[in-house]
Amino acid sequence: MTYDVVVIGAGIHGAGVAQAAAAAGYCTLLLEQYDRPAQGTSSKSSKLIHGGLRYLESAQFGLVRECLVERRRLLENAPQLVKLVPFHIPVYRNTRRRPWQIRLGLSLYALLGGKGFQKIPERDWNTLDGLRNDGLDAVFRYYDAQTDDALLTQAVLASAQSLGAEIRYGCELQQARCEGNACILNCHTQGKSEEIHTCTLVNAAGPWVNTVAARIQPAPEQLDIDLVQGTHLVLPGQLQHGMYYLEAPQDQRAVFAMPWQDNILLGTTEFLYQGDPGEVTPRQEETDYLLTVWNHYFKNKMGADDIIDSFAGLRVLPRSRGKAFHRTRETLLHIDTTRCPRVLSIYGGKLTSYRSTAEKIIRQLQPLLPTRTPCANTQTQALEAPQQSQRGR
């Protein structure tokens, strides 16, 4: 048989594309090299479903708007998995962004689709989870959403399956030859080789995107990318009041402190990574950086011995000389040819906007796909929290 769409990768993007393809009625297969979903970046993110307040500083208004629309849909379609939480932004005398700038940013964020915001009265500052209040000028509260990225990925995969998509774990794409009317894939499952035929191929391999692209013939042009690692620490304690959006004293980057599974999640960092994406691990300098941020802002000091867990994920960013923090977070969809694309590779992207990205991909592949009858609409498709937690981490 020949599939309409084969997707490589069971991260959030692969899951989203499989769901969108199956919803559109296409005969869909997803292949994942590991024996479980969300083993790449999609279990190592900051777990925020957000518009990205900080992208307003780099005027990425379209991205913020799109992500806020997707946030609203996820809050409606996956209420067990995506929850609105309060975020606090403390502004100190020596932080770079001034209260008027935060107020302006939050007003714009609300206009683009975020909820409203408040300034917290000074008398309540003492109640804020041990936040240092000497030199504190103002604290703002606004709302964004949090999820469990690995569980969200599983829920989207389950939805794709319920709409008819097939998923195979432990199955690695080795080679693909795309010519004439189809692609012939060569895949390995437990050392056994198998041939799969498909009309179109979606490379949703996250940080492995160029490794997979290099296995396709004729070779699609590969985008020049950097893999930028981001580490999170899990620290003991509870943040009763929600999230804290902190400005790292070392370089003024945004760092989040969040409640996470009865502990605190702190992240993230940005370090250029070269090596096998499957082997990325937190570095000592990242741990030091994050602990410095925590100890700068909170009264309960923490050291390396307090760390319960840590993990690192890889962002795929277009290569440039600029700092990673300021590079675009738009998702780049790269096609093998502008007329009737057969192979499409996803570069970068956000957990939050996986669904809209997936729909764009299916629209781009449509000219080569047979006519099918849609069976669902991903805009309104409910996502159930998985019963059996198969945590990515």
Instruction: Pick between residue 115 and residue 132 the one whose CB is nearest to ligand FAD.
Output: 115
Q: From residue 199, how far is each of 6, 361, 368 by CA, in Å?
A: 8, 14, 7
**Binding residue for ligand FAD, selected from 21, 24, 48, 264, defined by CB under 6 A:** 48
Task: Tell me: does residue 41 bind ligand FAD (CB under 6 A).
Answer: yes
Angle 12-23/354-365 helices, nearest 10 degrees? 50
Q: From residue 330, how far is each of 37, 245, 301 by CA, in Å?
A: 24, 22, 37
**Binding residue for ligand FAD, selected from 207, 242, 259, 341, defined by CB under 6 A:** 207
Measure the CA–CA gap between 83 and 85, rounded to whole angstroms. 6
Task: Tell me: does residue 213 bind ligand FAD (CB under 6 A).
Answer: no
Contact stretch for ligand FAD (CB under 6 A) within 11-19, 97-105, 114-122, 293-301: 11-19
Task: Tell me: does residue 220 bind ligand FAD (CB under 6 A).
Answer: no
Contact stretch for ligand FAD (CB under 6 A) within 30-38, 85-93, 108-116, 123-131: 30-38
Measure the CA–CA gap between 102 and 53, rounded to whole angstroms. 10
Task: Tell me: does residue 42 bind ligand FAD (CB under 6 A).
Answer: yes
Task: Tell me: does residue 64 bind ligand FAD (CB under 6 A).
Answer: no
Contact pattern for ligand FAD over residues 298 through 327, marking x by CB under 6 A: ---------------xxx------------
Task: Tell me: does residue 258 bind ligand FAD (CB under 6 A).
Answer: no
Q: Which of residues 265-304 bind ligand FAD (CB under 6 A)?
A: 268
Q: Which of 298, 242, 238, 248 is nearest to 268 (CA)?
A: 248
Task: Tell me: does residue 362 bind ligand FAD (CB under 6 A).
Answer: no
Place of tokens 């599939």: 3
**Strands, DSSP E only, in 32-81?**
48-49
Task: Tell me: does residue 169 bind ligand FAD (CB under 6 A).
Answer: no
CB 368 within 8 A of CB 30: no
Sequence-distant (6+) residues with CB within 8 A of 5 are 17, 18, 21, 26, 27, 28, 29, 198, 199, 200, 201, 202, 362, 365, 369
Instruction: Pick between residue 31 and residue 365 the one whose CB is nearest to ligand FAD.
Output: 31
Task: Tell me: does residue 45 bind ligand FAD (CB under 6 A).
Answer: yes
Min separation Cβ 178 and ligand FAD, Å = 15
Instruction: Pick between residue 131 and residue 351 the one whose CB is nearest to ligand FAD.
Output: 351
**Binding residue for ligand FAD, selected from 19, 28, 39, 60, defined by CB under 6 A:** 39
Place of tokens 């449509």: 366
Q: Is 262 exposed, middle or buried (0-12, 13-18, 19+ CB in 10 A)?
A: exposed
Q: Encode burial over 64-96: b for 16+ CB neighbours within 10 A, e otherwise.
A: bebbbbbbebbeebbeebbeebbbbbbbbeebe
Task: Tell me: does residue 344 bind ligand FAD (CB under 6 A).
Answer: no
**Binding residue for ligand FAD, selected from 25, 51, 90, 206, defined by CB under 6 A:** 206
Interface ranges with ligand FAD (CB under 6 A): 8-14, 31-34, 39-42, 44-48, 172-173, 204-208, 212, 230, 268, 313-315, 346, 349-352
